[in-house]
Structure formats: structure tokens, C-alpha cells
Structure 1
Amino acid sequence: MLRFWAYEAALMGNDVAAMEELFADDPGTLRGDAAGLLVGHDRISAFRGNRGGAPRRTVREVHRRDLAPDAALLIAITRPAKGGRGQQTQVWQRSGGIWRVTAAHVAIPAAPLDTRIWRLVGDPLVPTNPAVPDDGSGELPHLADEAPLAGRTVAVKDLFAVAGQRIGAGSPAWLEEAEAEPAHAAAVEALLDAGAQVKGIARTDEFAYSLAGTNTHYGTPPNPEAPYRISGGSSSGSASAVSSGHADIGLGTDTGGSIRVPSAYQGLWGLRTTHGMISREGLLPLAQSFDTVGWMTRGPELLTEVTRVMAARALDEAYSGPVEAAAAGPLVVFDGMLALADDDVAVAVREAAREAGAIEETGVRPEEAQTLRKVLQAVQAGEAWANHGAWVSQHWDRLAPDVSGRFQAASERRADELREAGARAKALKQHLRELIGDRVVVIPSASSVAPMSTEAAAGGPVIEAARAATMALTSLAGLAGLPAVSVPLATEAGLPAGMCLIGPPGSDLALVRRAASIRG
């Protein structure tokens, strides 16, 4: 029992060295909590060294059961300083006369609201739109159960207008100055009309100017499918809400990969729609040349149904481009772009594509893909500064360092450089559409599995390297304005990854159905 109390003192004092000595230095040592399981002394030590200390608590009871002469189970009932009741279970084993923890599990009271995922939540926050009466009574009946999305809940990325609420854009300073929106964004309205309910407003990377999900102001949304790894952004809150089971549909945006990356990192199905097909009315822009509406679900059936509803809405709103294009052409893997991915992701994508009967060709070489990224980022920077530069110039000290750095670089882009980038973007769009034609192209959704949270400081080298490689992949669909479906895969180590299917313009629904037929 003395060693137990020594551990408790070390925990409350954040004495990492003492805690490391009290846990067995073994690759099989276990430490779990609601966030997930850590296996191995090294991973547990890295977690402790980066969390900044444990929440304050007092021990109310300790119960011991001897399992063997050199093994004991200890269960401690704790009282967190913030209230509630906690519990810690530990297995202690004696080796060489010294007792050490070989397995531990910590349970704490669940937070009433995970503010890493949600800015605002309700039950629901916005109910479904009632059906339009057709009997002349003037009364608005409840929506019929056969409404396509009846009973489904939506996590709305904090860039879309929700009537009566403010847009926060992942920025406390922006939220403070924002005014309540008079009407729902078009995409929100479409989901409500189809019977869905808005569960709440979900977090986003600041101004959606990232791919990591590591919001400095509000924290990183959790990744239930890969604990202790980042969530992926900028539709991070919407993705985590779906992955966690808090919502059925994650409504988000994709400019440079912000649907595809969190989908890949969290094992979700996600669709970036054909650019311009889904109305962006009521959406706070980042870069209009590439901003698209998209959504994420846990399975292909719901992704298909949401896509069917939204594509029909595009037809009703007289969208001038194709909406019902086919995605029946040959399945082709672009080997040149597979080379941009880490080996474990590339292997998983290649094997899945081969199982689906895909043929292989070079397609876009790695250096050509990096050119795509640079062009997209140049145009993105110019438009982001045009949209937000005046406000940012008055709030530099309120921005996260990584986002501030991107806006600073955007402010320094020369006019002639931006004009040249715009011209190249138009030419590349035409070239890429001709290259893809009526085929369905397969590439990785992201260049890697989700980086570990302990290695992924916002704006740090791990995240920036992953961002550069991933945006070289995502810029293909981004510049071409094409629909892209992220299909969940697993690496040999069991970590989530994504296979991206890119189809002709307007083939969104057919592309989702093609993806479901391959991996559903």
C-alpha cells in the first residue's frame, strides 16, 4: 500500500520521473481511460510528459484483493476537485522484491459537454423543418417518418449559418464580434427539410486554415478510432462528433482536404462534392475557388442517402452543372501519387484498389503533385487574405500561432504572383479534368495515418510535413473541382487510413455508390 500512496503523491505533484519508476518498464504495461488504451511503458511516459498534470482529486477509499503471492488488485474510489466520483483500478506485481503497476484504468465523471468537439449543443439545437401542409388547413404537421433523413442528427461545422446563432469560425475573437445569423445556410436548410435535426455546432480549425484539427484555443477534438492521435481538420469537430456517436452526419467543408483528411484519420466515409454543386449560401468562406460543402458518416448507406438528398436539392436550385453524371468508367490507381504516402498507407490503398480490379498508371508524378499543391495554396492564400485580411490585421494577437503564420505569409503574396497562380489554376483544372476523363481515379485520402498527439504541436514539423504531403494529394480534386469520396481502410497495424475515389464532375451520387460497392 505504501507504493500506492507514493504513486498518488507523484500523480498529484506531476512528478513524471517518480510515476515512470512506479510503472513496470515493460512493453506490455497497460494504462487506459475513456480516451483509449496505451500499451507499453514508453507510450505511457510520453503521454504523461505532454498532458501537463492530472486533474486534482482526493482518494476516498482503497480496496485490495491479492491475486497471487506477487500480484495484487487495488481499486481506489476518488473524488475529483471539480465534483463527481472517480475510480482507479491498478494491478501491482512484485519483481525483484519491488512492487510496480503493470496495468491501470482510470475512470472520471463524464463531462456534460465535450468542448473540444462542440461549441454549442442541444437536444436538438434545431428541430427538423415541419412538412408543408397540403390539406389547406394551414397547420404544420410533424414531418412524416418516411422523410429520407428522419431521426438523423447533424453536427454542423462552425462556418455554416444556423439561424439565431453566431458563426465562430474556430476563433474566440471572431465569435465575440459576430452577430446572430438571420437564416440557416442553404446546406443546413436542405438537411432540415429532409427530416434531419441539428444536434449542435461543432468545432473547426481557426478559419478552416489547417488540416490538423489542433485548435490552440479550444483543444484537439478526440479521435475515438485512433486514441491519442490527432483528429484531422478543419472539419475536425464534425468528424469527431460522428466518430464518437454524438451525431449521425457531420456537415463540413473541404477546401484543401478538410472532409477527406478527418475521414481518413477517423475511419469515416466522407464526400467532398463537385465544386459549386451544393450552394455555399450562408457559409463563411476561406477560398471560394476551392471551398466545397461535404459530409461524413459512419457507413456508406447514410452517406449515399445524404448525397441523394443534396444532389436532388442542387437540381431543384437549378445548378447549371452536371448533377447526375455516371462514375462507371475504369478504376485507375495513380502510382505517382501513391509515392507521396507513407508505406503503410500506400500498401493499404494499393491492395484495396487491386482487390477492386483497378489498373495502374503513373498519372501524376510526385513533383507534379507538389506543383499542384503550391498553385492551390497560392490561390487559397490570396483569397483567404482578401476575405479576412482586414479583420486579421486588427487581431494578430488573438490568432493561434500556426494560423497567424499562414495569414502573415498570405499578406506578403505579390499581386503579380497571385495573378499568375490564378491563371495556372485555371489551366490545371482543364488539364486535370482531361487527364481523369470519365475514369475513377484512386489515390490516398491522406499521406499518413493520424500523427500522435504528443508529436503534433500546432504548426510544428510533424504536422507541417504531413500537411505538405497530404495537400499534394488533395490538390488533385481541389484544383479540378471534382467530387472525391474517402473510403475507410486499415493499415497492417490496424490504424485508420483512407482510400480516395475521384470521379467526373457531377458524379457525386454515382461515385458514392461505386465506392460502397467496392468497400461497403
Structure 2
Amino acid sequence: MTRSSTRARLDEALARIDDPKGEGARACLTVYRDAACAAAEAADARAKAGVTLGALDGAIVSIKDLFDVAGEVTRAGSKVLAEEGKPAASDAPVVRRLRQAGAVIVAKTNMTEFAFSGIGANPHFGTPGNPADRARIPGGSSSGGAVAAADGMCEISIGSDTGGSTRVPAALCGIVGYKPSRLRISRDGVYPLSQSMDSIGPMARNVADCRRADAAMAGEARAPLAAPSLTDLRVSVAQGIPVDNLDATVGKSYAQALARLTKAGARLRDKPLPLIEAMVEVNKRGGVQPAEAFTVNRDLLDRRGSDIDPNVRARLERARTIGAADYIWMANERDKLIRMMDEWLSDTDVLVMPTCPIVAPTLAEIAAPEDFARRNAMTLRNTSVWNFFDCCAISLPLPRNGLPVGLMLVARNGHDRKLFAIATAVEQVFA
């Protein structure tokens, strides 16, 4: 067995999960030790025989705690669901496709309860510490997955993204996080937050690993993607809200990133985004996403509200008074704005902005409810826009000036393959 074998890489991942000085106990809620070892040995046997199931064959993968796995209760980071939930009858289609593609599923990873926060804290199962500074938040809601990928507990982690839940933790932990066009990947067998905005995406230490996971989950043959020349791209730089009030670290890293892109041949042009202001006006009636999240979890709130994370509960309860007429109006207005944004971006190959306007705050800085709410809103500010407008987006780690900072690339709905190719080219600039 060589050190590059699947089994050897799995053993290294398991050792990191088991390390008592690491974050394994908080990042990985279920470890599939025996099944993963069997899958790794099968992958090595295929490799020895010259047989492959595809580009994901032998990859060490973790999955978020909201994906159904046959015979297991789907907890979605919740104590209540862990106690009351019924075992899933079958794997979620996403999990099934990962297995069919040869992925070695090593663990189920921790998350914000019900996936309803960009902070990544979980009072029931513990909050995994940020790899850059364990006293800081990991970002959420796919917190455990981002920490697991960054810390080498897996090579690829599969999360969900409803307002930024793959891109935010990726940005704050210094890795790559992808949000696909919403309908690209099946959400069946996934505990929902918002049926209008949920999407399923990967996190990894590079674009290529995210790309191969995305292709497997989408049931797409993984054709080679040639990175385009930056000089041939129409690169737009977001103006307005996405670049307002950046903290010092983000502001410095972002300015340096734009300078490096220019030096690499990219022709940048400023792009105002007035439709974001229109989105803000629509959301003043409470928001489509919160209304849908409340509907999903209303019974649990009514019966066992005291057993739900207080910060999550407060966000859900704020949506209790949203009426049917306001919800329908917001949904209809959103549909109009999605079409308008698609047209607005028709002269752009890729839109660039910071993933998060702030670096990861410390756990102490989000201890008070009002501080939690304020910093949660800031972490999600830029990412949630693109769930509302149903675009595809990716967060790339920038060269470090201290704590991790992410650069977000956005493309029109359905342009996922194109965005991966562009991200590959941009990644090379910062390598």
C-alpha cells in the first residue's frame, strides 16, 4: 500500500478526527469508520485493477448532518430531532450519487441547528473552532464540514447553502466553497430550510475537488474544463452594498486581490447593483426565506421551543407573524427581480466581491444575543443576495494578511460549468 492509496489517506483523515487536541469531536458528529475502511479498500482494489467509477472514486468525503442516510435519524444539528426523529428509509439522492461515484464517506458533520445561521455555533453538539484561531467561529451553517475539510479530516465536504452556508464557512476557514444554481442538484432527502432557496454544494481546499464533487452530485459527466484567459473575460466589480463597511483585514485583502487580477490581465470594470436595493425593500416584509423556515419548524417551536438554540429560535419566531398575502407578494416580487438580475448580468462573465465583509469574530464577540444577530447579519450580507437572485457563486481563499478572507465570484443561473472554469483561472492567480 502506497501513501497515496485511498486507505492510507483515509487513515490520515481518521487520525485527525480522533486527535484529542483537534476539533474532530465537535466537527464530526457521526464517524463511519468501518464502512469507510471497506469503501477505501474497494477503491484501492479498483485502482489496482485499472477500473474507476469516475473522478470522485476514492475521494474522502464528509456530509452535512441534514442529509438522509438509510437507517439513521437526520438530526440537522438539533437535539429535538435527534431525540424524536425517525430513521431515514433510504439515502438522500445526493448521498447515493456520491457512493455510486466511489466517494468514501467518512463522517457526518456538525452544523447550525436547522441550518439557520451564518455563525456556525451549536449549543447542543459543540461549536468547532476555526482552523485559523480556535477561539473564533467557523462560520455556518456548514460549520463542521468547513473545519473538517480545512483540518484534513476529509478532502471534500458536502454542505447546503440557503444564504451562504457553504461560502461563509469556506471564506472564514480559508478554503473553497461552492453554491450551485438551485435546481442543479436534488434536494430530496435533505432537511429543508427554505424550499425556494436551498441548494447543495461542496467545500474543499481547491476548486478542482469542488468541481468533481459538484459533477458527481449533479449526475454530470465530468468533462475537462479549460481555464479561460482572464484577458478574454468580462469581469465586473460589485459596487454599493457588497463593498460597504468592510473591516480592515477584508478591505486590505480585497484591494490586493483586485490589483493582482489586474496585473494578471483581467480588465475590471465597476458594476452598480441597484437591484440589491430592490431586494432589501422586498425583504422588509419579513423575507421569503424566514417565512419558509418558520413553516418547516413551526411544530417543533410550538412543542419544544425551549430545547432549540435560542439564537435560531429568535430568528424563526420573528417570521411567525408574516401573513400569507405578504409571503405571496414577496415570492412574486422575487421572481420578477430574479429575471431582472439575470438580464442585468447579461453583459458580465463573472461578478467579483468579498465573500464576507468581516473576518471570523471570536466566540466571545457573539455571546450576547444582540451581538450574535448583528454579526450574523454581516457574515451573510453578501452571500445571501445570490440565493435570493438564484445565481451560482463560489468563494476562493485569498492570500493571507492575517485571518482568512474569501473572494466571491458570481455568475448567472445555469452557468455553473463556466463559473468553475473561471474560478480555476482566478485560483491560479492567487496560488
Output the TM-score relative to the length of structure 2. Answer: 0.83
Matches within 5 A, 1:328-343: 329-336=233-240, 337-343=242-248
Judge conservation of contact 1:129–1:143 (CA < 8 Å) in 2.
no
Q: Which residue of 2 aligns with 1:75?
A: none
Residue 380 of structure 1 pairs with residue 285 of structure 2: no
Deviation at 1:169, TM superposition (A): 0.9
Report the AA paired with residue 216 of structure 2.
V
Give me the whole-angstrom Cα distance separating, in 2, the residues matched to 1:185 and 1:273: 18
Judge conservation of contact 2:61–2:156 (CA < 8 Å) in 1.
yes
Q: Which residue of 1 aligns with 2:13?
A: none
Report the AA paired with residue 412 of structure 1.
T
Of 285, 291, 306 in structure 2, the residue corresponding to residue 397 of structure 1 is: 306
Residue 496 of structure 1 pairs with residue 376 of structure 2: no
Give me the whole-angstrom Cα distance separating, in 2, the residues matched to 1:156 and 1:257: 17
Judge conservation of contact 1:226–1:496 (CA < 8 Å) in 2.
no
Give me the whole-angstrom Cα distance separating, in 1, the residues matched to 2:25 and 2:49: 32
User: In structure 2, the residue corresponding to 1:441 is in which secondary structure?
Assistant: strand
Of 297, 304, 313 in structure 1, the residue corresponding to residue 211 of structure 2 is: 304
Of 58, 62, 78 in structure 2, the residue corresponding to residue 151 of structure 1 is: 58
User: In structure 1, the residue corresponding to 2:183 is in which secondary structure?
Assistant: coil
User: In structure 1, the residue corresponding to 2:326 is in which secondary structure?
Assistant: helix
Taking structure 1 as reference, are residues 373 and 206 closer, same or farther at Cα in structure 2, changes over 3 Å only? farther
How big is each residue's C-alpha offset from its partner over 1:91-147, in whole Å with a ceiling of 9 and x where there is no partner? Answer: xxxxxxxxxxxxxxxxxx82698331121102254564999xxxxxxxxx9993563
Give me the whole-angstrom Cα distance separating, in 2, the residues matched to 1:333 and 1:503: 12
Q: Which has the larger radius of gyration?
A: 1
Deviation at 1:396, TM superposition (A): 0.8
Give me the whole-angstrom Cα distance separating, in 2, the residues matched to 1:252 and 1:458: 27
Give me the whole-angstrom Cα distance separating, in 2, the residues matched to 1:224 and 1:498: 15
Q: Which residue of 2 aligns with 1:283?
A: 190
Judge conservation of contact 2:282–2:333 (CA < 8 Å) in 1.
no
Aligned residue pairs total 393
Q: Which residue of 2 aligns with 1:79?
A: none
Deviation at 1:429, TM superposition (A): 1.0
Q: Which has the higher contact order (CA 8 A, sep 6+)?
A: 2
Give me the whole-angstrom Cα distance separating, in 2, the residues matched to 1:129 and 1:153: 8
Residue 191 of structure 1 pairs with residue 98 of structure 2: yes
Give me the whole-angstrom Cα distance separating, in 2, the residues matched to 1:240 and 1:477: 24
Judge conservation of contact 1:443–1:499 (CA < 8 Å) in 2.
yes
Deviation at 1:177, TM superposition (A): 0.9
Deviation at 1:253, TM superposition (A): 0.3
| Long gaps (5+) in structure 1 | 1-108, 132-140, 317-323
Report the AA paired with residue 122 of structure 2.
N
Greater shift in the superposed pair: 153-162 or 364-373: 364-373
Residue 363 of structure 1 pairs with residue 272 of structure 2: yes
Judge conservation of contact 1:152–1:248 (CA < 8 Å) in 2.
yes
Give me the whole-angstrom Cα distance separating, in 2, the residues matched to 1:364 and 1:112: 42
Deviation at 1:377, TM superposition (A): 6.0
Deviation at 1:510, TM superposition (A): 2.4
Give me the whole-angstrom Cα distance separating, in 2, the residues matched to 1:110 and 1:373: 47
Residue 181 of structure 1 pairs with residue 181 of structure 2: no
Taking structure 1 as reference, are residues 262 and 158 closer, same or farther at Cα in structure 2, changes over 3 Å only? same
Q: Which residue of 1 aligns with 2:333?
A: 424
| Long gaps (5+) in structure 2 | 1-18, 43-47
User: In structure 2, the residue corresponding to 1:276 is in which secondary structure?
Assistant: helix
Of 194, 200, 225 in structure 1, the residue corresponding to residue 107 of structure 2 is: 200
Report the AA paired with residue 181 of structure 1.
A
Residue 511 of structure 1 pairs with residue 415 of structure 2: no
Q: Which residue of 1 aligns with 2:361?
A: 451
Give me the whole-angstrom Cα distance separating, in 2, the residues matched to 1:143 and 1:178: 42
Give me the whole-angstrom Cα distance separating, in 1, the residues matched to 2:297 and 2:286: 16
How big is each residue's C-alpha offset from its partner over 1:339-394, in whole Å with a ceiling of 9 and x where there is no partner? Answer: 24324313322331342224232422697287178369610111112222123211
How big is each residue's C-alpha offset from its partner over 1:407-437, in whole Å with a ceiling of 9 and x where there is no partner? Answer: 2111122222222211221122112111112
Judge conservation of contact 1:254–1:272 (CA < 8 Å) in 2.
yes
Taking structure 1 as reference, are residues 496 and 183 closer, same or farther at Cα in structure 2, changes over 3 Å only? same
Give me the whole-angstrom Cα distance separating, in 2, the residues matched to 1:376 and 1:469: 19
Report the AA paired with residue 389 of structure 1.
R
How big is each residue's C-alpha offset from its partner over 1:7-64, in whole Å with a ceiling of 9 and x where there is no partner? Answer: xxxxxxxxxxxxxxxxxxxxxxxxxxxxxxxxxxxxxxxxxxxxxxxxxxxxxxxxxx
Matches within 5 A, 1:87-166: 110=20, 114-125=24-35, 128=39, 144-145=51-52, 147-166=54-73
Output the TM-score relative to the length of structure 1. Answer: 0.70
Deviation at 1:440, TM superposition (A): 0.6
Taking structure 1 as reference, are residues 152 and 431 closer, same or farther at Cα in structure 2, changes over 3 Å only? same
Deviation at 1:173, TM superposition (A): 1.2
Give me the whole-angstrom Cα distance separating, in 2, the residues matched to 1:514 and 1:309: 20
Give me the whole-angstrom Cα distance separating, in 2, the residues matched to 1:279 and 1:376: 29
User: In structure 1, the residue corresponding to 2:287 is in which secondary structure?
Assistant: helix
Judge conservation of contact 2:27–2:148 (CA < 8 Å) in 1.
yes
Deviation at 1:179, TM superposition (A): 1.3
Q: Which residue of 1 aligns with 2:157?
A: 250
Deviation at 1:314, TM superposition (A): 5.2
Of 254, 269, 282 in structure 2, the residue corresponding to residue 349 of structure 1 is: 254
Greater shift in the superposed pair: 385-394 or 122-131: 122-131
Report the AA paired with residue 351 of structure 1.
Q
Taking structure 1 as reference, are residues 196 and 458 closer, same or farther at Cα in structure 2, changes over 3 Å only? farther
Judge conservation of contact 2:68–2:88 (CA < 8 Å) in 1.
yes
Judge conservation of contact 2:215–2:221 (CA < 8 Å) in 1.
no
Give me the whole-angstrom Cα distance separating, in 2, the residues matched to 1:142 and 1:183: 31
Fraction of identical pairs, as percent: 30
Judge conservation of contact 1:279–1:314 (CA < 8 Å) in 2.
no
Taking structure 1 as reference, are residues 373 and 159 closer, same or farther at Cα in structure 2, changes over 3 Å only? farther
Give me the whole-angstrom Cα distance separating, in 2, the residues matched to 1:469 and 1:369: 19
Q: Which residue of 2 aligns with 1:66?
A: none
Give me the whole-angstrom Cα distance separating, in 2, the residues matched to 1:154 and 1:401: 31
Q: Which has the higher helix share?
A: 2
Q: Which residue of 1 aligns with 2:10?
A: none
Q: Which residue of 1 aligns with 2:352?
A: 442
Deviation at 1:315, TM superposition (A): 7.7
